[in-house]
């Protein structure tokens, strides 16, 4: 359940920034959580943005040492 929630947050963030000309999707998570990870998703996981929630989560976990402290804390807060 937590993985699904976190993955939805991350996908919503990445999809919103990748498709700014399209209508904004419904976002999960707080604005603070979205802000904490959006830059990390764009920086480290851009090639996999369209490959699904769990792929983005796996990408963030793979790049864990490079993540911002704020995004790392979001992952920790959601049991990742």
Q: How far is CA 3 from the centre of its chain?
A: 11
- Residue 34: per-residue pLDDT: 81
pTM of this prediction exceeds 0.75: no
Measured between alpha carbons, how far is 43 from 24 in angstroms, rounded to an integer?
A: 21
Confidence band for 8, pLDDT divided at 50, 70 and 90: low
- Residue 45: per-residue pLDDT: 94
- Residue 73: per-residue pLDDT: 96
What value does the CA radius of gyration of the chain take, rounded to a whole number of Å? 11
Measured between alpha carbons, how far is 72 from 67 in angstroms, rounded to an integer?
A: 6
Instruction: Give the residue extent of every domain in the chain.
Output: 2-15+32-77
- Residue 64: per-residue pLDDT: 97
- Residue 52: per-residue pLDDT: 81
CB-based contact 64:30 (threshold 8 Å): no
- Residue 53: per-residue pLDDT: 75
pLDDT digits (tens, 9 = 90+) for 18-64: 554 444 444 456 889 889 999 999 999 999 989 987 898 899 999 99
């Amino acid at each position: 359940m937590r993985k699904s929630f976190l993955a939805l947050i991350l996908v919503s963030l990445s999809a919103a920034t990748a498709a700014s000309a399209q209508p904004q999707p419904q976002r999960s998570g707080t604005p603070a959580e979205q802000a904490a990870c959006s830059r990390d998703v764009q920086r480290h996981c851009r090639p996999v943005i369209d490959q699904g929630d769990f792929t983005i989560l796996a990408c963030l976990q793979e790049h864990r040492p490079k993540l911002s402290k704020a995004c790392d804390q979001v992952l920790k807060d959601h049991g990742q």
